[in-house]
Every structure is written in C-alpha cells, then in structure tokens.
A and B are shown apart, each in its own frame.
Chain A
Amino acid sequence: MPPRSSPPGGPDPRATRDRDEIRSGDSPEERDFAEFYAATHRAATGQVYAMIGNWHEAQEAVQEAYARALGRWQQVSTYEDPLAWVRTVAYRVSVSRWRKTRRMLFGTDHDVVVPAPMETHVELVAGLQKLPAAQREALVLHYLADLPVAQIAAQLGVPEGTVKARLSRGRAAMATLLGDGDDRG
C-alpha cells in the first residue's frame, strides 16, 4: 500500500472511536478503508470547509466522496494519495449546483447534525472565500493539507511557479483581509 497523507494538526483523537466502527465481518478491504477513513476524514472535511466556506456542505460532500471511494476502494487505494482523490471528489460534489439545489430542497443526506467549528475560525474561512478559487485552493493545500509546492503542482497539474505565484498572491490578500479584521477588533 502506498504511503498516504497524514492529517495535519496532529493525531486524530477520535480515530480510535472511528475504528470501533469496523465490524467483525468486514473484509480486509473494508477494514483498510475504515482505517483510511478514520485517519483522514476530519482533515478532508476541514480542507473542503476552508475551500467552500460552509461546514455542513463540506461534511455532506466529504461523506459522499468517501462513499464513492468505498465503492471503488480496490482502485482508489492504489493511488499514491487516496486523500487527494477524496478531496477532489468532495470539492466537485460540493460545487455541483445540481446537488446544491437538491440539498437545498431536500435537506442533507446526513443522519447526524453536527455543529460547525468555533466562531474564531469564521473570519479566516470567510477571508478565504474572498480569494479567487485558484489562490484559495493553493493556500488550503499548502497550509491546511501541509502539502509541499511540488505536490500541489502535481495534483493541480500546473507548474510549480504557478503554485508559488498563487500562494504569494493569496498570502498577500489574506494578510490584508485578516489585518483589516484585526483593525476592527
């Protein structure tokens, strides 16, 4: 099994509980997926949340992406970075207007209502939403997913210089946005 991205922010304190959801009758493949889910899903949700600015939408999209990954885990598990696959699928799911419309109409597929992260991060996430999507994506992958520039470039299919430029512009914009926020405070 190739190495996988580990979540930023230290070890997942709830991973043990998630692993408890592994069932005795699970196949090795299902157990492998469960381990992957336990290790990565919170990080994935945080990254998609930072990208789209809506916690519940992010959770919904990430759960949906993991469900798709589970359906083709034999293939996805061979990828160099399955979390990148999940993150990409989740982001695409979240920006699909069709799904947005449906969720708006029918509510979420989610069986559990969970709270959004603390208000202290609202300003950060709101600031990210004001950036062009490409800059936002670069910042999220670099600072939240802890990916080096080269890996971001590979994932996005753009030259490293492009990633660096996006990071530079994004940082400058965020400095202004967050600085303005501090001034208000």
Chain B
Amino acid sequence: MAEPGSPEDELRGRMHALARQVQQQPGGGLADVRRRRVRRQRTTAAGTGLAVVAVLGAVALVLPAVGEDASVRPIAPAPSVTLTQPGTPSAPATTVPDPTAPTTTPPTSGAPQGTGSTSTSTTPPTLTEGSYALDLGSLVTPDELRRFGVPTTSTAVGDGGSQPTIPGLCTGPTWQEQYSSPRDRVAGSYQLDGGQLLADLLAYSDGVQANAALVKLKEDARACPTVNEFLQITVTAVGSAIGDEFVVFALDSESGLDGSKERIWVTIARIGNVLVEATLDRDPGYTGDISADQQLSRDAAQAGVDHLLAS
C-alpha cells in the first residue's frame, strides 16, 4: 500500500484520473465495429457507394515516354467521359463527349494473351474478351500459390485489407480515386514465413477501363515517387508476361520510430477487366532472405491471373 502523497500514490492517482477522463470520451461505436466486421467478411466489396468513374483521355494525360515500356500503355484513348454508378453496370450512363480525345481506332478484342518477358514492343497491350465477375472464389487458393512456388503456410484465404496497397499519389486522392474507382473488389491474405501476401482483385466495366487504371497507377508512381517523408514508390518493371500486361512497384517505407527500412513488392497484372494485385510484405525486423521477394510477388500475381482464367 502506498503512502498518501508518495510517488506511487501520485502515479496511481494520475492513472485513475486518466481512466476517468477516458470514460468521458466518445467512443468509436458499436456500429463502427460492425461495419469493420462486415468489411472483413464481405465477399465482394462493391465499389464505394456513389463514385464517379471518369475515364479520361488516357493518351493525353499519361502518354508514356518514347521507347519506354510501351507494353503497358493505354489500349485506346477513351472517347468520352462516362459518369456511372458503381454496382449498377446496366444502368444508363451519362455520356459527355470529350473534345480532346484523339480519334484512334480501338484494338480488336479477343487477341491472344500477351506472353514473353518484359516487353519493349510498341504494340498496344492486348484486350482479352475476359470479363470477370468477382466473388471470394475469384481469389487464388493457397494450394495454387504453392504450385507457383509461393511458400504460403496458409490453409485457407485469410482476411483481406480494407484497401489495396498503392497509396494516393500525386494529388493525395483516396485509394478509390487512385485506382480509378473499380466497380468491385475482393481481397484476401496468405501467411508466409516472416511476412504475408495480400491479394486484391479489382474489377472494372471492361478491359479498356482496367487498362486505363493500370496506366494511371504506373504514371502517377513515376510522376510522384515521393509519397511522403517515409515512403517512396518506384516502378521497377513493366511488361506483358503476366496476364495482358503488368507493372511491378517497390514501396520503400522507413519507420518513423526507429529508422528501419522495409521494401514491399507489389505486382499488378491486368487480365481482361480485372486488375490482379499481389503484395508481398515482410514482418518488421524480418532477417531472412528477401532476395526473391519481387519474384514471389510476380509469381503470386501470375497464380492469381491463372486462377481467374481457369474460373
């Protein structure tokens, strides 16, 4: 028992004062807890309420540099700005002609899936006919990942995150804006020895919109590599070897607490109207071999693409 006025007594008194003060604070609320639980359970995260899907003239906005990774570039300039409500793809859209759109002919749908290693071809990326509706079954299974050499220890798909990985870049938008307002999203996670793999599937109305979303991610990462004081993003590879096209990002984060650094690998592949994102994130302080992490991220994306193709 502490003596009144002793340091222990004072500490106890201050702690209890804090406890009483905390009791007066408004809490987050049970409704918020329920929403979080639903988010964790949800099989398909439908869009994000009312959102504006702005398919802008991608060529005019994000024209890649001459001779540079032309494999991930706009399939076709969007001829109009389309306003639509996510989750209601059949609803009539308000179409506003875009006077700045060049008059080029879209490529033919149904071309074969891109193959080979990182491409430097100037041929526009292919547009497969695949149009995939997402549900939990759209996520790659742990067994499939292992077959692709991704050593997950999971026996089932775990909870996905509340948003995909790439942060808001140039203008600090929300993730929905950064990912060009996908219509649907499904996410899952898989445990690794010393880290985790996160899978995100993002569906768009069609392959053109999915391509424009991937191009925007790539170009924004190049235009604004410094996300903030603690985070840098780099595009390390682009090509057509995974799905119709893919981009690999490296996210270098520095802990604001101890200065330690961590690299997170993110591969985003497009197959038809879906972006398949695979994020490899190591646990803080992991000291194992990380030399193959980029390849693991790519392999996981490839597994995700193959799963969709087989579905």
Question: Chain A: residues with CB nearer than 8 A to chain B?
Answer: 7-10, 12-14, 18, 21-22, 34, 37-38, 41-43, 45-46, 49-50, 59, 62-64, 66-68, 70-71, 96-98, 101-102, 104-106, 109-112, 114-115, 117-118, 120-121, 124-125, 139, 143-144, 171-172, 174-175, 178-179
Residues of B within 8 A of A112 (CB): 26, 28-29, 32
Known: A67-B40, A105-B231. A178 touches B174 (CB 8 A): no
Q: Are B29 and A21 in contact (CB under 8 A)?
A: yes
B25: interface (CB < 8 Å): yes
Known contacts A46-B22, A175-B7; 17 additional CB pairs below 8 A are: A9-B22, A13-B23, A18-B29, A21-B29, A37-B30, A42-B23, A42-B27, A46-B19, A46-B21, A68-B40, A101-B231, A106-B163, A106-B168, A114-B28, A121-B14, A124-B14, A124-B15
Q: 11 interchain pairs (CB within 8 A)? A: A7-B23, A18-B29, A34-B30, A46-B23, A50-B18, A59-B28, A97-B253, A97-B255, A102-B161, A171-B11, A172-B7
CB distance from A33 to the nearest CB of B (A): 8
A120 CA / B18 CA spacing, docked (Å): 9
A64 CA / B162 CA spacing, docked (Å): 11
Contact with B27, one of A18, A98, A175 (Cβ below 8 angstroms) = A18
CB closest residue in chain B, given A140: B15
Q: Are A110 and B28 in contact (CB under 8 A)?
A: yes
Contact with A along B1-29 (1 / 0, CB 8 A): 00000011011101111111111111111
Kindly count the residue-residue contacts between A and B in the assembled complex, taking CB atoms under 8 Å apart. Answer: 151
B310: interface (CB < 8 Å): no
A63 CA / B27 CA spacing, docked (Å): 9
CB distance from B97 to the nearest CB of A (A): 34
B143: interface (CB < 8 Å): no
CB closest residue in chain A, given B284: A97
Q: Closest 7 CB pairs between A and B? A: A46-B22, A9-B19, A67-B36, A175-B7, A105-B167, A143-B15, A21-B30
Residues of B within 8 A of A106 (CB): 163, 167-168, 174-175
Question: Chain B: residues with CB nearer than 8 A to chain A?
Answer: 7-8, 10-12, 14-37, 39-41, 161-163, 167-168, 174-175, 227-228, 230-231, 253, 255, 262, 281, 284
Q: Are B16 and A9 in contact (CB under 8 A)?
A: yes
A179 CA / B21 CA spacing, docked (Å): 22
Q: Are A117 and B18 in contact (CB under 8 A)?
A: yes
CB closest residue in chain B, given A66: B33
CB closest residue in chain A, given B285: A97
Q: Are A12 and B23 in contact (CB under 8 A)?
A: yes
Residues of B within 8 A of A109 (CB): 36, 39, 162
Known: A97-B284, A102-B161, A106-B174. A64 touches B7 (CB 8 A): no
Q: Are B28 and A121 in contact (CB under 8 A)?
A: no
Chain A: interface secondary structure? helix
Residues of A within 8 A of B227 (CB): 105
Residues of B within 8 A of A22 (CB): 30
Contact with A144, one of B19, B25, B31 (Cβ below 8 angstroms) = B19
Residues of A within 8 A of B262 (CB): 97
Residues of A within 8 A of B26 (CB): 14, 112, 114-115
Residues of A within 8 A of B16 (CB): 8-9, 143
CB distance from B143 to the nearest CB of A (A): 24
Residues of B within 8 A of A125 (CB): 18
Residues of A within 8 A of B19 (CB): 7-9, 43, 46, 144
Q: Are A175 and B11 in contact (CB under 8 A)?
A: yes
CB distance from A134 to the nearest CB of B (A): 17
Residues of A within 8 A of B21 (CB): 46, 117-118, 120-121
Residues of B within 8 A of A143 (CB): 11-12, 15-16
A179 CA / B11 CA spacing, docked (Å): 11
Q: Are A115 and B34 in contact (CB under 8 A)?
A: no
Q: Are B17 and A121 in contact (CB under 8 A)?
A: yes
A50 CA / B20 CA spacing, docked (Å): 13
A146 CA / B34 CA spacing, docked (Å): 28
Known: A67-B33, A70-B34, A102-B161. A13 touches B253 (CB 8 A): no
Q: Which of B14, B16, B28, B168 counts the most A-chain CB atoms under 10 A from its CB?
A: B28
A67 CA / B40 CA spacing, docked (Å): 9
CB closest residue in chain B, given A182: B10
A45 CA / B28 CA spacing, docked (Å): 10
CB distance from B212 to the nearest CB of A (A): 22
